Structure formats: C-alpha cells, structure tokens
C-alpha cells in the first residue's frame, strides 16, 4: 500500500461525498448519547486525509484523528477509544487472512459506532478482486 500511495498522488484521496449526511446523522446520535461530552472520530485507513478535511469543515466532531500505516503523516497508531471509527475502502483491499485482525483492531478502538465501507465492484483494469454486494 505504501507504494500505491507514493506512486499515485490521487491514491488515498477519496472524497466520499455520499457519506456527509451519514456523518451528520451519526454525530447527532453520538452527541446525544455523550450528553455534552466531546465526540471523537477516527478515520482508520484515512489515506491522505481528504475525507477527514471535508468532515472537519462541517464542524461536527470535537476531535478528528487519522490513521493509515501506509502514509507517513498518519502512521502513528491511534490511542482510543473513539466514539466513531470509520474504515472506508480498506477491508476490500485487505488480504483475506488479515481481515479478522483488522476488524479486531477497529473494534478495540471503538467506543460507540464503527462504519465500514468498501468497493464491491472494481474497475475492469483493477488488479483488485471484486466482491459480492453486501460483502
């Protein structure tokens, strides 16, 4: 993954505009449950941080942390737990033998809600294997 991030500037810069409403909804529920306490968010596998910056601009979360072991800026392992942990376009590119460890790592860092998102149908020229819907 480090090679993919370093060789292609656009790699790891997904925008996930379709998730902005979901992030607002999740924040509202978490803020209600936290009763005035800070609401924290970790983007696990954040790439180059584009999605975090888009959500930061909405002013929803009191603390936003990114983690991606393939990107030098975000290599430092996070200390949790976090109210919300997103793991977007990570599980679908993780080798099957490492998926249980990935899910356990996210679970250990989650105090409230974890959200996984993955691409189930890759571009025809992609070296990645497609997955069935609801993977």
* Cβ contact 117:90 at 8 Å: no
**93, part of any domain:** yes
Of 22-36, 52-66, 86-100, the one with minimum mean pLDDT is: 86-100
127 falls within a domain: no
Q: What is the CATH number of the domain that holds 94?
A: 3.40.50.150
63 belongs to a structural domain: yes
133 pLDDT band, cuts 50/70/90, is low
Number of domains in the chain: 1
d(C-alpha 117, C-alpha 69), whole Å: 18
Q: Is residue 95 part of a domain?
A: yes
66 inside domain? yes
Q: Which of 69, 87, 66, 67 has the alpha carbon at shortest distance from 4? A: 69
Phi/psi zone of residue 49: left (φ > 0), alpha (ψ -120 to 50 degrees), beta?
left
**In the structure, what pLDDT confidence band is assigned to residue 19 with cuts at 50, 70 and 90?**
confident
Share of the chain above pLDDT 70, in %: 75
13: in domain: no
d(CA 101, CA 44): 13
- Residue 113 inside a domain? The answer is yes
Q: Mean pLDDT across the stretch 63-88? A: 95
The alpha carbon of residue 9 and the mean position of all alpha carbons in its chain are separated, in whole angstroms, by 19
Confidence (pTM): 0.81
Residue 134 in any domain: the answer is: no
Q: Give the rounded percent of residues in the chain with a pLDDT score beyond 90.
A: 61
- Residue 107's domain comprises 2-6+19-28+38-117
Q: How far apart are CA 134 and CA 68, in angstroms?
A: 24
């Amino acid at each position: 993954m480090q090679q993919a991030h370093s060789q292609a500037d656009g790699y790891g810069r997904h925008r996930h505009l379709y998730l902005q409403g979901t992030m607002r909804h999740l924040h509202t529920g978490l803020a209600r449950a936290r009763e005035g306490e800070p609401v924290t968010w970790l983007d696990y596998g954040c790439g180059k941080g584009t999605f975090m910056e888009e959500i930061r601009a909405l002013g929803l979360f009191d603390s936003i942390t990114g983690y991606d072991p393939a990107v030098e800026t975000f290599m430092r392992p996070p200390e949790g737990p976090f109210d919300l942990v997103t793991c977007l376009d990570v599980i679908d590119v993780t080798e099957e033998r490492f998926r249980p460890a990935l899910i356990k790592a996210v679970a250990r860092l989650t105090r409230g809600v974890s959200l996984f998102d993955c691409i189930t149908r890759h571009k025809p020229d992609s070296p990645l294997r497609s997955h069935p819907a609801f993977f």
